[in-house]
Structure 1
């Protein structure tokens, strides 16, 4: 009998999309009225099922709608997306998503996610150019020699730096670029590719889970809850430090086991294939010449400029993609690559990440099915009602699990914040706890589930190394359980302080 294989990332997502389509036939369609600020006219637009209504942009208007958010949060641009209006949920005409909608959803998702897909493809093109120059091989060989006996420093450094990016400006999708670069370095240090995946993905996940200044979660969620984003900052910072420490210890322990005995690797059966895929740069005969050092500098600066632009200049996917295109052209010029060879290398490099791009599109298609079926608000309505009558400890942990569950359907942190905070944060008032704890439950719930959420970034990340989702679950589930227990303990204590 032929051995059954765990399905591919694409198949997993299509199965989930099918289940979501079925849910649109079971869960009633419903909508909250929404409010959005229009800066040009200085008015609020309230969108209901019947019509759009224009209201004066005043604090009295917000108070009359039971929106406990200061007016300046809208006029300053902190809240730019439509927010849900409390106590306005109503059922609407059902819009079940049939077989045609299901078939169309991956295509719609790819179109909707075109910005990040182009970023991924252009990163692939840049990697293709870099591989041709030999700069990677020379640099990795030099780094492996330099870190001999101190390879564990690499694990700590990468995890901490990426966690800092996650907590400050929401470094998440951008980490896709780091896998092809860092995996050969970790292989050269005698670790497996899972260690590289862990350092990058766990670092990003724990950073965004314990966001401190991240405008796409902490700041927008606090604003939507009607509180200052600095409220609760200390507790989130402590969670960040302790959570990152737990992730590093967990990864180090696994990495040392693999280094001592490679057969302990959860992806040991793929060892030869992965080493062939990413090359064995430890035996590189290419010397790190001045030209190659300049090429590596330009390559590194592409990421520095990207990070600076996103965090300081309000750049997004268009600007990030342009940075990598310019970086590729500069490197091609420095390496004296002729035009035809450059184009060929760039296209082949992009094609290497085409599978990743398609996964991102299919995942976005699931969100499209949810939106077209109009069941997101219904799930939020039922979730908010489920917490009635709970004591503080049970309530805050229930919020943690509610947000974890909702993040399966709404993986966007900013989308989750504006959709749920105006509804969920007032529930804390009735229970007698601060709204910053609702923000914490939102962040920790979404962040914890992000470690394994198939509608998030993990499947795209795994696809780069062609590691199965089942292998990742085997590696990460003990850590998720440890972090879940720790988070529940912290939240429970915090509501009684």
Structure 2
């Protein structure tokens, strides 16, 4: 008899579960524009009276608010919100393009790679020290001049540096954004936030810098600890670095190559340093805006290229390559601005701040300062400009501070902390989104990376505010 063959049951293949893919940033921002458009049909329109404030800028009169006829967003208004956002944010968009172009010139001259090589040789045996050195340097610059947008300037240099030291592009973005955001959050003499708020509150300009310096130390120290911990993680898992290097190389951000530097390139490097110092001077003493900074970076690229021996055609092509590298970041800035455009067109932005201020005023006096922090952070989603937010919210928060018994200095610190914390996570913050786009990092990966530090910063900020309130910090 023939043995019967056993038929093995065929296992049905289980369908693979799809992993959650974080939406593209354009999708996220478009959803926000749509939500705000729908909100224009629900939130009543309103407006505060505008009066002339410090330096001729218009600010709100907190005593005069009226509800007005609603102007909800129609289909055409929704479709044109993003193009209008591009126009409205044009100064920041072109600033981003000029940074990209100027730094591509510096890269093509070999100056950046030479500098990276020197820094690598200096820190290769103790590479973890590069983290506190860079964080302290960049944060102090921002704490004085108040330009967190410099993160866009630092990233093109930091990516090749971090990769040569054995780290990845997330580390580069972390150093750039944590340092500039920390310096902005605890700013000592930021003209656009601290200086303007002090003028509105009728306080001595830049007073209270000693207490803000202690906050700066706490914020940057926690940032250093956080990034050193990430560095140790990379050292234990080299596969993470290899993957980042593969992705970075595919974007032509970094190439392993030795550069010989000529006398002309050395002179060009000195010119770069002098022009960078000149930029800090211009921002600090003349309050250069984004248009002036864009022109300055254009001049930097041209001058450095000529000094280094590049022809006009070579400089032009370098600018073109730089424009292409930062295109995504520049577009994100304009798209993000579309959210504010919808709120301005429907005239619900004043209604929102009116409602938030009443919510804060109903809190117990002991925790009002924390409510101020939360309000400022939330409002920064709609108005990411620090000076713009100061002109809108400070005229309300200053009288509120007087009523609930906290000092005006403390109210301004709540504004600084709330504004600074949200700058590093809200997708409507244009320069932040442009920075991670320039580094080739998705918003989802960044949010997962930075969230633990954000929580630490939040509790540090709350502690400093509660102490300031308890000791009645400030002139009055």
TM-score in terms of structure 1 length? 0.86
Closer, same or farther: CA 234–139 of 1 in aligned 2, 3 Å? closer
Question: Once the 2 structures are TM-superposed, how far is the Cα of residue 304 of structure 1 from its aligned partner?
Answer: 2.1
Moved more, 171-180 or 131-140: 131-140
1:126-141 map, 5 Å: 126-141=102-117
Match of 1:464 in 2: 438
Deviation at 1:327, TM superposition (A): 2.1
CA pair 272-85 structure 1, distance change in 2 beyond 3 A: same
| Residue among 388, 403, 413 paired with 1:415 | 388
Q: Residue 392 of structure 1 contacts residue 495 of structure 1 at CA under 8 Å; is this kept in 2? A: no
Task: Indicate which of 324, 327, 335 corresponds to 2:300.
Answer: 327
How far apart, in 2, do the equivalents of 1:370 and 1:416 lie? 14
Q: What secondary structure is seen at the aligned counterpart in 1 of 2:64?
A: coil
Rg (Cα) greater in structure: 2
Q: Quote how far apart the aligned CAs of 1:269 are.
A: 4.5
Query: Which residue in the other structure is 1:440 paired with?
Result: 413
Instruction: Quote the offset at 1:331 in angstroms.
Output: 2.8
Aligned to 2:184: 208
Structure 2 counterparts to residues 53-452 of structure 1, below 5 A: 74=54, 77=55, 80-263=56-239, 269-278=243-252, 280=254, 283-452=256-425
Native 8 Å contact 1:110 1:361 kept in 2: yes
SS at match of 2:125: coil
Over 3 Å counting, the alpha-carbon distance change for 1:86 and 1:340 in structure 2 is closer
Deviation for aligned residue 1:462: 1.0
Question: Which residue of the partner structure matches residue 41 of structure 2?
Answer: 25
Q: Secondary structure at the match of 1:85?
A: strand
**Structure 1 match to 2:13:** none
Q: Is the 8 A contact 2:169 2:439 kept in 1?
A: yes
Asked whether the 8 Å contact 2:267–2:308 carries over to 1, the reply is: no
Q: CA deviation at 1:132?
A: 2.4
Tell me the equivalent position of 2:428.
455
Identify which of 437, 453, 459 aligns with 1:479: 453
The structure-2 alpha-carbon separation of the partners of 1:141 and 1:380, relative to structure 1 and needing over 3 Å to count, comes to same
Cα distance in 2 between the residues matched to 1:340 and 1:494:
57
* C-alpha distance in structure 2 between counterparts of 1:464 and 1:308, whole Å: 26
Deviates more, 1:443-452 or 1:124-133: 124-133
SS of equivalent residue, structure 1 residue 130: helix
What whole-Å deviation, never above 9, does each CA across 1:164-203 have from its counterpart, x for those lacking one? Answer: 1222121122331221122111111111111111111111
Contact 1:219 1:229 (C-alpha < 8 Å) held by counterparts: yes
RMSD: 2.0
Q: CA shift at 1:214, angstroms?
A: 0.6
> Equivalent residue of 2:40, what SS?
helix
The DSSP-based 3-state class of the residue aligned with 2:393 is helix
Q: Which runs of 5+ in 1 are unaligned?
A: 38-73
Count of equivalent residues: 454
Summarize the Cα distance change of 1:153–1:339 in structure 2 as closer, same or farther, 3 Å threshold: same
Q: Write the deviation string for residues 194-213 of structure 1: whole angstroms up to 9, x where unpaired.
A: 11111111111111111221
CA contact (8 A) 1:425 1:438 kept: yes
Answer yes or no: is the 8 Å Cα contact 1:257–1:264 preserved in 2: no
Change (3 A) 1:230 1:297: closer
SS in structure 2 opposite 1:140? helix
- Distance in 2 between residues matched to 1:451 and 1:342, nearest whole Å: 33
Q: What is the distance in 1 between the residues matched to 2:50 and 2:363?
A: 28
Give the match's secondary structure for 1:25.
coil
Aligned to 2:9: none
Mapped partners of 1:442, 1:331: distance in 2: 39
Question: In structure 2, what is the Cα distance between the partners aligned to 1:482 and 1:376?
Answer: 30
More off after superposition, 4-13 vs 476-485: 4-13
Give me the whole-angstrom Cα distance separating, in 2, the residues matched to 1:302 and 1:25.
Answer: 50
Q: CA deviation at 1:354?
A: 1.5
Which piece of structure 1 moves more, 10-19 or 227-236? 227-236
Q: Is the 8 A contact 1:184 1:278 kept in 2?
A: no
State which drifts further: 26-35 or 340-349.
Answer: 340-349
**TM-score, normalised on structure 2?**
0.90
> Which residue of 1 is the match for residue 7 of structure 2?
none
